[in-house]
Every structure is written in structure tokens, then in C-alpha cells.
Amino acid sequence: MAVDAPDAFSASTPLFIVANAGSGHDAADDTRAAMTKVFTAAGRSHEFVLIEKGGDVVAAAQDAVERARAVRGAVIAAGGDGTISAVAQQAADSGVLFGIVPLGTFNYFARVHGVPQDAAAAARALLTATPQPTQVGCVNNRSFLVNASLGLYPELLEDREAYKQRYGRSRLVALVSGLRSLLREQRQLHLEFGIDGEIRRIKTPTLFVGNNRLQLERVGLDDAAALDDGHLVAVHPRPIGALAMLGLTLRGALGRLGDADQVQSLVFRELEVRPRRWARRRIKVGIDGEIVWMRLPLRFRAKPGALQFLMPAPAARAAVE
């Protein structure tokens, strides 16, 4: 698909905001009200494209992107990492300007770019933002902003979502669900890596491909700087049991994962991953917190500058925490 050159971003650029629909006193209603107040006070043309409960975020993102393209507008994702990633994919494919109002639990993409975590402050930051070409990762035909993974990590995501549905969304709930998952017996993946014409064979409980410098730095991986040079970073532990995996998780929480002998990492621009011990055609992949089934082999690649991200002006940026 041909991508047009990005439009300039100015006070006359209309905004099309993809957001979850609320219900009366729902927090989503309060968030939209806060954004509306900011944009109305600034005289900024804006329109919400709502994701109804149980609705399709991809369809809403496509709708918003088409509306933005028709009037040289910008599309804004208001939500967590999954919503932001889904809207970013459509924006990157079309060349439309893309901004965010982060509403999730971890918000790694927002934090690494200094986007304020408060909805009103993030909306104000959009008013003076500047388009900046930003890298996305890609696995097969799906883009990701933060990470993509297979094996244990997608299982952790599924367990975390189940716990959140039952106990609410918080980092404590995410931690408890993760510990429970880690203590189960770990299934091992037998994989082949194809990189630079070379085949490497590995056995691991999980493969993690990172595209977010902050997330990699926080767990203590020195390869995080490679993202700035148009690379992605693949991380995988050697075959280990549940208690050893728990130990690695604690190391990561202390920012010392890179010192662990059981952990290996690989910096790459393109990487093909295929199973070598079973004849399955599809595999479960975690992409920015969402679970999808993808056809094998998996082809990962970095796409530097693929997304025209609306970066907050220095004075509007939040400190990276």
C-alpha cells in the first residue's frame, strides 16, 4: 500500500479520537469530557470515534484513519497499550499523523516519549506536538510498538487479563497473576532462528521481542540502545524450571536481567522464527498486551520511521518514570 507524505500539524488540523464508549458514570465518559474541555477551549476541531463495549478496535481505527485522511487530520488513540497499538498500525500503514492519550496500566510507549499520564495533560500536550518519525516493530503483517512474544509470555498476558476481569486493573493484580503463572510447569519451545542466512536452534520457555527502550532498560538489558539504530531485540532464557524462571523475573524487577547467565539476547533488523519439533501451522503471539494467532513462520522486522508520531513539545513532556 502506498503511503502519502505526512501532512503538517497545526492549530487547524482536525483530530479524530479513537476511544472506548462510556456508560453514564463510566470513567471513559470522564476521560472524554476532560479531552473535550481541553480541545474546545483551544478551538481545536475534534471528533470521537467510539469503540462500543465488545466492539472492534481495528474497525474503529480504520474508520478514524479514513476520516483523518479525507481532511488531512490526525488520529488519536485514547486507551491502553492494546488500543494504542491497534490504532498505530492503521496510522502507520496510511501515513496519517498519530497521537496518544494513554489510559492503560503500564503505558510504556507513552512513558518513553514523555507523554503525560493524565488525560487532560496529554490532550494539552497534543496541541503543541510535532510529528516525529518513530520506529515500529512488525511480525508478519502486524505492527507493534512495545513488544511481541510467544510461549510463556502470552500465557502470562492471558492470565493477567483474566485476573483483571475478576479483581480490577492495577499493577498489584498484574503482579499476583504473573507469579501464579510463573509457578506452573513451563512448556519448552523448540525454535529455529533464520538470520543473515544462518540457522540457529534454541530451546526456551518464551521468546520476547522488544521495541521499547524504557521497558528493556528497566529490566537491565544493555541492548536497549540498539533500538535507536533501527534494530529490535530478541530475548530468551535457556530451558529452566518454574523456580528458576521466578528468579529471573525477580532479577528483571531489580533491573539485573542482563547479568543472568540463563538469558540470551539477539539484536537484529530481520528475523525468521519457525518451530523445529512440531508441525503446527499457527502459534499464539502476544502483541502489545493483546493475544493473536499467527501463521508460521513468524517474520520479525524493524520499520524505522514508519509512524508519524505527535511528540509532545519539550515543555509539555512528563519526566520518564
* Residue 2 confidence (pLDDT): 43
Widest Cα–Cα separation across the chain: 60
- Yes or no: say if 145 and 288 are a contact pair by the CB < 8 Å rule: yes
Domain range summary for the chain, segments of one domain joined by +: 15-136+306-316, 147-287
Known catalytic membership, residue 185? no
Spatial neighbors of 280 by CB under 8 A, at least 6 apart, are 296
Put simply, whether the predicted model's pTM sits higher than 0.85 gets the answer yes
> C-alpha cell of 54?
465488545
Rounded to whole angstroms, how far apart are CA atoms 185 and 127?
50
For the chain, the residue count is 321
CATH of domain 15-136+306-316: 3.40.50.10330
Burial of 27 (0-12, 13-18, 19+ CB in 10 A): exposed
> C-alpha cell of 15?
483530530
Of 158, 192, 217, 290, the active-site residue reads: 290
Rounded to whole angstroms, how far apart are CA atoms 13 and 118?
22
CATH of domain 147-287: 2.60.200.40
- Yes or no: say if 103 and 81 are a contact pair by the CB < 8 Å rule: no
* Residue 6 confidence (pLDDT): 54
* In the block, residue with C-alpha cell 453514564: 24
* Residue 153 confidence (pLDDT): 73
Rounded to whole angstroms, how far apart are CA atoms 313 and 128?
6
What's the alpha-carbon Rg for the chain, to the nearest Å? 20
DSSP string for 221-245: -GGGGGGGGT-EEEEEEPS--HHHH
Q: Which residues of the chain have pLDDT under 50?
A: 1-3
3-state secondary structure of 26: coil
